[in-house]
Structure 1
């Protein structure tokens, strides 16, 4: 994931990803969350530089989807 690579290259330990395109653009919320979580967890499995990743949700429904998926992965 390019954003995580750039964060690491610039010695940033924390990064946030906003939950975008699931509102007006109607990208499927479950798919967006799964894609983001999988990309981040795959990257973090290969690198231990990044210490904290925030998923920024703009509405309760997205928050609940992320929370459920992260709990299923044993991250929360």
Structure 2
């Protein structure tokens, strides 16, 4: 599914974020120490090779809502943006932190002249963010960034499972 918002194509598809050769920047759902881990983080680090962890460790630690950028090494992309999503809780400013992940990644893509960026569903795995709420924040933040984007013309959400894809498609339809 895809939509055009303010001249930017935003799409949702099921797939593997490490296999997006037509995308300039992919986003990693990283941990605060940027040392690799499981899920999306582990898959990206395995595909990129050991130099990705070496490069990202030099930028650690970062906090929830923050992001840094590195080269992509053995991935078919130019760069990887490493975002630390919040662990879901009703007592913390998690919505603002999650939105910050997407906004900061979009700004880093602009700063590096990227035409395209691909996101996973940040914080929706072991960090426990409810899918519909996370998808709404993700799509709303990216749609808001579309009005200011200069270089980024394509945003792809690459989602691993059918239930996550369905949540993100519902959110895209609403924005």
TM-score, structure 1 normalization = 0.83
Q: Compute the RMSD of aligned alpha carbons.
A: 1.3
CA distance in 1, matches of 2:142, 2:149: 10
Q: How many residues align?
A: 73
Q: 2:119 aligns with which of 4, 17, 37?
A: 17
Give how far 1:49 is off: 2.2
Larger % of helix: which?
A: 1
Report which structure shows greater RCO (CA 8 Å, sep ≥6).
1
TM-score where L is the length of structure 2:
0.39
Deviation string, structure 1 residues 2-28 (Cα, Å, up to 9, x no partner): 111111111111001111322333211
Shift of residue 51, structure 1, vs aligned partner: 0.9
- Cα offset, 1:69, TM superposition: 1.9
- 1:43 corresponds in structure 2 to 145
- Note the residue ranges of structure 2 that are not aligned, 5 or more in a row: 1-102
> Radius of gyration: which is bigger?
2
